[in-house]
A and B are shown apart, each in its own frame.
Chain A
Amino acid sequence: MLPATAAALAVLAALLAWPVPALLARARWPRRDPLVALVCWQAIGLAGGLSMIGALLVHGLAPWGHSLPEAAWSVLTGDAAEDPVRGDHWVTLTLAGVLAVELVGVLVLSWVRTARTRRRHRELLEVVVRPAAVPDARLLEHPAPVAFCIPGARPLLVLSSGIVAELDEAQLAAVVAHERAHLREHHHLYLLPFVAWEAALPVLPAAARAHAAVRTLVEMRADDVALRSLDGAAPRRTLAQAIVAAAGGGGGAEVPSGALAVAGGAVRARVVRLLEPPSPLPGWARWLALLAAGLLLLAPTALLLLPVL
């Protein structure tokens, strides 16, 4: 019998499915420290999945033992249940299984599909691009001002001839530094679970909200990392100029504008943040946020593993 544990996990799952992501998405502090905010989002995603599946599992396995490890062991060794097994136990067990398979399955599928698309795009691009003046970057002959990188074992950093023509040397260096930051910190891995889970749980509004927030934070983080490597009088202004030029010149029908453009405000938030930098998060606040993220992960883990409350 594990009613208190199952209830606690269910409450945690409900909190993480709606109010907590809503609060974090609306909070002002993440733009002051995108990296800490990204850690918090990962913790919310992981703890949310864990408590959702955990609540179902704990309830379903209740007849077999007093803690989840004990109950799971009795089931695996084929011991008879200590208490009568009712219909709702089977229903929650089935749901737990379906949910776990779906979340993990979609993640794996998304990974495989993304990797395949990346490889195909890289193979096609490699035929058309030429070496650019910037080291490690490739030039794609196209008038629209576009820059992007394809992450992976052999990353590809592409600049359009349009962006090279539009930006001055310092601005171009800022663009390249931003893209290199994405590659060096493997930002695509931060995004992957949120992309996958938005696809897996379309009914959960928090999934879409989390995905959008993480996307914006990853861009802000890349801006921050890029600024560190830039010299010149006003690197923040240089990067902001590059963003405005690339965003404004890319409109029209020449190239697809991308999902971020639909959000619109995300680009503006980046520019505002560069021009009027918010004060960095004080040390204690950083540690508090990281501690909260740690506790968030610890809570469902402890509830799952410890004997019944």
Chain B
Amino acid sequence: MASLGELERAVMDRLWSAGGSVSAGDLRDGLADRGLALTTVHTVLTRLEQKGFVVHDDARPRRFRPRATREEHAAELMHEVLGQAGDRQAVLARFVGGVDAEEARLLRELLAGGPPA
């Protein structure tokens, strides 16, 4: 049994590649190799809707489409995850933060064996 997180990713992959709105039934058929029940697909879609990844038209409540592209979501998440909260509270460990242009130049000089700052 795949985890919900993995199912969510599979459903989003489908929705993103579909390029329009898709019904839960179509999604189930598209993921036929997983043998999902329609209720499971609905559960996953509801969770995705709560997380802000999926929307449905009021006129066609059974059809779902992605709220934004994968790239837009990635950009939003990057901002949220690396933003103030993540950093100050040690929510995550970032390899290295960004530095301003002047500092970046100094760093490149150091690497090139230039005069130590």
The reply to whether B107 and A148 contact each other, CB–CB distance below 8 Å, is: no
Binds A, one of B19-27, B35-43, B98-106: B98-106
**Shortest beta-carbon distance from A214 to chain B in Å:** 10
The reply to whether B103 and A255 contact each other, CB–CB distance below 8 Å, is: no
The reply to whether A248 and B5 contact each other, CB–CB distance below 8 Å, is: no
Known: A127-B9, A140-B78. A246 touches B95 (CB 8 A): yes
The reply to whether A142 and B78 contact each other, CB–CB distance below 8 Å, is: yes
A252-272 contacts to B (CB < 8 Å): 252, 254-261, 264, 267-268, 270-272
The SS class assigned to the B binding surface is: helix
Whether a CB of chain B sits under 8 angstroms from the CB of A82 is no
The reply to whether B92 and A150 contact each other, CB–CB distance below 8 Å, is: yes
Indicate with 1 or 0, residue by residue over A114-141, a CB within 8 angstroms of chain B CB atoms: 1001100101111111100000000011
The reply to whether B92 and A142 contact each other, CB–CB distance below 8 Å, is: no
Known: A121-B81, A268-B107, A272-B116. A261 touches B100 (CB 8 A): yes
B90: which A residues are within 8 A, CB to CB? Answer: 114, 188, 191-192, 195
A181-218 contacts to B (CB < 8 Å): 182-183, 187-188, 191-192, 195, 218
The reply to whether A251 and B91 contact each other, CB–CB distance below 8 Å, is: no
Interface size on B, residues (CB 8 A): 46
The reply to whether A121 and B93 contact each other, CB–CB distance below 8 Å, is: no
Whether a CB of chain B sits under 8 angstroms from the CB of A59 is no
B80: which A residues are within 8 A, CB to CB? Answer: 121, 124
Known: A141-B70, A142-B75. A241 touches B99 (CB 8 A): no
B99: which A residues are within 8 A, CB to CB? Answer: 247-248, 250-251, 257, 261, 264, 267
Indicate with 1 or 0, residue by residue over B11-53, a CB within 8 angstroms of chain A CB atoms: 0100000000000000000000000000000000000100101
Total CB contacts across the A-B interface at under 8 A: 180
The reply to whether B98 and A275 contact each other, CB–CB distance below 8 Å, is: no
Question: Cα distance A1–B111 when bound, in Å?
Answer: 63
Whether a CB of chain B sits under 8 angstroms from the CB of A110 is yes
A149: which B residues are within 8 A, CB to CB? Answer: 92-93
The reply to whether B104 and A195 contact each other, CB–CB distance below 8 Å, is: no
Question: Cα distance A128–B80 when bound, in Å?
Answer: 14
The reply to whether B93 and A182 contact each other, CB–CB distance below 8 Å, is: yes
A67: which B residues are within 8 A, CB to CB? Answer: none
The reply to whether B98 and A251 contact each other, CB–CB distance below 8 Å, is: yes
Known: A127-B53, A247-B104, A268-B117. A146 touches B78 (CB 8 A): yes
Q: Which 8 A-B pairs have the closest CB atoms?
A: A258-B97, A250-B98, A248-B104, A257-B98, A147-B95, A261-B97, A182-B93, A260-B97
Sample of 10 A–B contacts (CB below 8 Å): A149-B93, A150-B92, A178-B95, A243-B107, A244-B108, A256-B98, A258-B82, A259-B88, A261-B99, A264-B103
Chain A residues engaging chain B, CB cutoff 8 angstroms: 110, 113-114, 117-118, 121, 123-130, 140-142, 144, 146-151, 160, 163, 175, 178-179, 182-183, 187-188, 191-192, 195, 218-219, 222, 240-244, 246-252, 254-261, 264, 267-268, 270-272, 275
Q: Kindly list 13 other residue pairs between chains A and B, CB separation below 8 angstroms, not including A222-B93, A243-B96, A251-B98.
A: A114-B90, A124-B51, A126-B9, A130-B9, A140-B77, A147-B94, A148-B82, A151-B92, A188-B93, A195-B89, A246-B95, A247-B96, A267-B107
